[in-house]
Amino acid sequence: MASSLLSHQMRYTVQRSLGLFVPRYRCVSKTATKSSLDFEYNGPSMKTEVPGPRSRQLMKQLNVIQNTDAIHFFCNYEDSRGNYLVDVDGNIMLDIYTQIASIPLGYNHPALFKVMQNPQNLSTFINRPALGILPPEHLPEEIERSLLSIAPRNLRKVQTMACGSCSNENAYKSIFIWYRNKERGNSKPSKKELDTCMINQEPGCPVYSILSFMGGFHGRTFGCLATTHSKSIHKLDIPSLDWPIAPFPKLKYPLEEYTRENAQEEARCLEEVEDLIVKYRKKGKNVAGIVIEPIQSEGGDNHASADFFKKLREIARKHGAAFQVDEVQTGGGSTGKFWAHEHWGMDDAADVVSFSKKMLTGGYFHKDELTPDGPYRIFNTWMGDPSKNLLLSEVLNIIKTEKLLDEVQKSGKALLNGLYDLQLRFPHIVSAARGVGTFCAIDAKNEQMRNTLIEKARSKGVVLGGCGERSIRFRPALVFKEHHAHLFLNIFNDILAELK
Ligand SMILES: Cc1ncc(COP(=O)(O)O)c(C=O)c1O
């Protein structure tokens, strides 16, 4: 694997030095300046419709093996660079969706190639350990260098995992173990508890719950799915748990214009949260934890104010429930701060913060008291992957040295201002532009129009993603600059003008 990557990098270097790598330039925007990343393409370049003939052929081939209904097109990852994703038909597209918000530095960042090329790192890439029993010598040092360097305030413990869902799933388990131990006091689990847990009965399996919010998304595994309420397609036919679901504030945008109405809406939701906690306690289903996204993403880029989160955190504390902030999608810098919850300005914002996507490894930070009290209570074979920590260290290094969080604030401002402008000029098509950093969204007038806009953008060389019923979400990499925002806005403007 390593040698093929080395040879690819060499091929690329040779192509460049021989002048064979000719960026295909399409002059779309007068305001778009040349890319600062000189290895990047200068703009989208479209050769076929998307999906093109080669993509369609591959879909047919894969469809024999598995369901391919969700596939948009097949990609050529070798040729993709920076903000540009190349497909198997040779189309070069500006990617503002980045593998569902999971590429921190764009495609094939040279610094990450170097990490792969370093002979000292090779064994970490080749030998994936069962971390919970046989960790490598450098694991503590590597975690300190990577994850602990960006640990949320007050959370000095971290457990790595493989993906977002298994991070949340294990975070919930930690919350339940902590909650049960609080109730037990100093005593050990009884024989009855040990026996009944084996047959899924109380008291060994206590009837606790996690309170979640309508429109929230926390993953697709069983426990996570009980707290996911964004779209029915994720949940249909899967048995689930009777856990409390509170309304998430439905705010009006722009937030500054509707402060009074929005505050009332948030107060209504907070009241409902407290009512549900009391109601479920009466039912014997104590709320052990509350889980929430700082910005509901899959559910439609729904925002709430810092004041809402502060009060919610207080409610959790008052009722002895752990407060978990799911930063799987919002974490890693795209809001202009490393963690979206930093925008709340709190010293003690959470008991648990889960992450994945742009962090390259899954996992969760947590308070000391949520550390499991014995072996194998929180455990799986891999429990993460040290090679991802290596890559993450380099990603964090680049974020720092290239001041990418400042860049995100600049390009995010350009993007959001552009979206505000477009919704003023095309109010019958788009509205409710919103966002923090580059973590932005806009609503189309209905679902069909949203899908049309995404398709038209793709045909003009821009990859976008949808969320909620009728929203478009913008999830560029951290190397998305102001000129990429202008490039996109010009293309989007043309699309909206054509639809007029
Ligand atoms: C907020 C949030 N939590 C959890 C998940 C689940 O992550 P994964 O798809 O890696 O299981 C996602 C995925 O989109 C997410 O956005």
The candidate with the shortest Cα–Cα distance to 439, out of 485, 488, 476, is 476
Q: How far is the CA of 495 from the centre of ligand 1 (A)?
A: 30
DSSP code of residue 302: B
Say which residue, 217 or 38, is predicted with more confidence. 217
With beta carbons less than 8 A apart as the criterion, state whether 253 and 471 touch. Answer: no
CA dist 450 and 46 (Å) reads: 22
Most ligand 1 atoms within 8 A of CB, residue of 357, 358, 388 to mutate: 357
Q: What is the pLDDT of residues 279-332, one digit of tens each?
A: 999 999 999 999 999 999 999 999 999 999 999 999 999 999 999 999 999 999
Mean pLDDT of 39-45: 94
The conformational region for residue 339 under phi > 0 = left, psi -120 to 50 = alpha, else beta, is beta
Mean pLDDT estimate for the chain:
93
Res 35: pLDDT:
39
Examine the residue annotation and report whether 221 is marked as an active-site residue of this protein: no
pLDDT per position as a tens digit, 251-264: 999 999 999 999 99
**Mean pLDDT to the nearest integer, 104-115:** 97
pLDDT, tens digit (0-9, with 9 covering 90-100), for 146-185: 999 999 999 999 999 999 999 999 999 999 999 999 999 9
Ligand 1 pocket at CB < 6 A: 100, 163-165, 168, 217-219, 293, 297-298, 326, 328-329, 356
Helix (H, G, I), strand (E, B) or coil at 273: helix
* Ligand 1 mean position, distance from CA 319 (Å): 27
Q: What is the pLDDT of residue 26?
A: 29
pLDDT of residue 187: 87
Ordered alpha helix ranges (H), 199-339: 222-225, 232-235, 259-282, 306-318
Per-residue pLDDT at 27 exceeds 80: no
Separation of CA 252 and ligand 1 centre (Å): 25
Calculate how far, in angstroms, residue 371's C-alpha sits from the geometric centre of ligand 1. 23
56 touches 12 (CB < 8 A)? no
Asked if residue 12 has pLDDT above 70, the reply is: no
Distance CA 278, CA 369 (A): 24
Q: What pairing do the DSSP bridges indicate for beta strands 322-326 and 352-355?
A: parallel
Q: Please give the number of the atom of ligand 1 that sits closest to the Cα of 298.
A: 16
Is a pLDDT exceeding 60 seen at residue 29? no
**What is the pLDDT, as a whole number, of residue 389?**
96
The whole-number pLDDT of residue 449 equals 98
User: For the residues 114-122, what does the mean pLDDT come to?
Assistant: 96
Active site residue 357: yes
Catalytic-role residue among 73, 176, 213, 217:
217
Mean predicted confidence (pLDDT) in 466-470? 98
Beginning with the edge strand found earlier in the chain, give each strand of the sheet holding 471-474 in spatial order.
430-436, 439-444, 471-474, 465-467
Ligand 1 probe mutation, 328, 330, 339, 361, most atoms within 8 A of CB: 328
pLDDT at 121 over 90: yes
Residue 38: per-residue pLDDT: 66
Residue 458 pLDDT grade (very low, low, confident, very high; cuts 50, 70, 90): very high
Enter the pTM of the model: 0.93
Strand, coil or helix: 292: strand
User: How far are the Cα atoms of 209, 234, 236, 321 from residue 240, in angstroms, in the given order?
Assistant: 12, 12, 10, 21
Residues 362-416: pLDDT tens digits? Answer: 999 999 999 999 999 999 999 999 999 999 999 999 999 999 999 999 999 999 9
pLDDT tens for 413-445 read 999 999 999 999 999 999 999 999 999 999 999
pLDDT in tens, 261-275: 999 999 999 999 999
54-66: pLDDT as tens digits: 999 999 999 999 9
Q: How far is CA 329 from CA 159, 165, 306, 385, 423, in A?
A: 18, 12, 18, 19, 25
Is residue 217 part of the annotated active site? The answer reads yes
Quick one: 69 exposed, middle or buried, by C-beta within 10 A (0-12, 13-18, 19+)? Answer: exposed
* Interval 66-88: pLDDT, tens: 999 999 999 999 999 999 999 99
- Examine the residue annotation and report whether 381 is marked as an active-site residue of this protein: yes
